[in-house]
Amino acid sequence: MLLKLFLVFLKVGLISFGGGYAVMALIQREVTEKGWIEPEKFQEIVTLAGMAPGPIATNTATLIGYSQMGILGATISTIGIILPSLFIVILCSAFFLRMQNNQWVRYSFYGLRPIITGLVIYAAIHFGFGVNQEPLFSWSTFGMLIVCAICLTAVTKYKIHPFRVILLAAACGIIIF
């Protein structure tokens, strides 16, 4: 089981571009197909991982490893998910020192932005509507979209600090829902 945990999270770590939320759907598929975690329990783990300090994908891997094999499982899962990033960062830093002014390298990273944005949006939609049996278009969905629009406007147009916007969104959520 320890080897399976290590290999699953090593695979996730190898293909995790765009941060933790971009790979949540992959982690969920991997662990639910193997029968390690139920979808409802996975959403609870992601919520807990998001509240803990640190990267959400690493925290999720740690919690899943812990739920399966205790402390040793948490350690192995964490090592599996961070090991590829560690090696990639070391290799990339050596590469970028030599290629930092190359135009093609900069264009490549600009090309990855829409893909990563799409993955994050997919994760948001998947977690927002995936487990609940509520219809996609309802009053709560409409309320959530209004709160999102207000928050986006507050941050981008009025330059309100994100922490204040988070507090505002929490207050709106308590009042509306």
pLDDT at 142: 83
pLDDT at 133: 60
pLDDT at 65: 95
pLDDT at 71: 96
pLDDT at 77: 95
pLDDT at 158: 93
pTM of this prediction? Answer: 0.58
- Render pLDDT for 127-143 as a digit per residue (tens, 0 to 9): 766 655 666 677 777 88
- Render pLDDT for 35-91 as a digit per residue (tens, 0 to 9): 999 988 998 999 899 888 888 999 999 999 999 999 999 999 999 999 998 998 898
pLDDT at 131: 58
pLDDT band at 109 (very low <50, low <70, confident <90, very high): confident
Tell me how far apart the alpha carbons of residues 125 and 156 are, in angstroms, rounded to a whole number: 22
